[in-house]
Amino acid sequence: MSRTEILPANQPMKTSVAIYPGSFDPVTNGHLDLIERGEKMFDRLIVAVLTNLEKNPLFSVAERVEMLRAATRTIPNVSVDTFSGLLVDYARQKQAQAILRGIRAFTDYEYELQMALMNRKLASDLETVFLMPALAYTYVSSRLVREIFQHGGSVAGLVPALVEERLHQKVYQGKN
């Protein structure tokens, strides 16, 4: 929702900025579905890839950013960036008012609630907005995509074509 549509004419114009943070290893069609939904709600949506991952990622940060940029190229007002350190600090730096996160199933809720409340404790003026992806993507996760692909299963329809191609190169052609 654009603030310009709901603010009275004498109010200064504000831009609503949201951050969609994550590992995106790799970006899935579920992520893209959420980005498309989020883009309609905020004036600017920044997809932010965490660089200091504790997990052992399949794709490098540069590869993940490149795939995200390609996949979101045609979606307006969406940019892709990286961040390290605390998400609330990054959000402040970007003057964001909201953090966007997806909730697929009941099992996501506990982890997401804990993060949202911790982020609120750290920055009380920053809201976490949860969106649900399309039903077709409620079972899709980057972890399962990696696992299925590494064991020879098909991930067609679960990730953008470019990601499928990159998975092929990474897993079967051993490209780093």
Judged by the rule CB under 6 A, the positions of this chain that interact with ligand PNS are 21-23, 50, 86-87, 115, 118-119
Does 31 qualify as catalytic in the annotation?
Answer: yes
Does 175 qualify as catalytic in the annotation?
Answer: no
Q: Do 28 and 137 form a contact (C-beta atoms < 8 A)?
A: yes
Take residue 78 and report the two structure tokens written for it: 């969406």
Question: ∠ CA(147), CA(168), CA(138), 5° rounding?
Answer: 40
Decide whether 70 or 115 has the Cβ nearer to ligand PNS: 115
- What is residue 133's DSSP assignment? P
Does 142 qualify as catalytic in the annotation?
Answer: yes
* CA separation, residue 92 to residues 19, 51, 164, 176 (Å): 10, 18, 35, 34
Q: Closest distance between ligand PNS and the C-beta of residue 159, in Å?
A: 15
Take residue 44 and report the two structure tokens written for it: 């600017």
Q: Closest distance between ligand PNS and the C-beta of residue 24, in Å?
A: 7
Does 60 qualify as catalytic in the annotation?
Answer: no
Decide whether 5 or 54 has the Cβ nearer to ligand PNS: 54
Q: Exactly one of 101, 142, 166, 170 is catalytic; name it.
A: 142
Q: Which residues are catalytic?
A: 31, 55, 104, 142
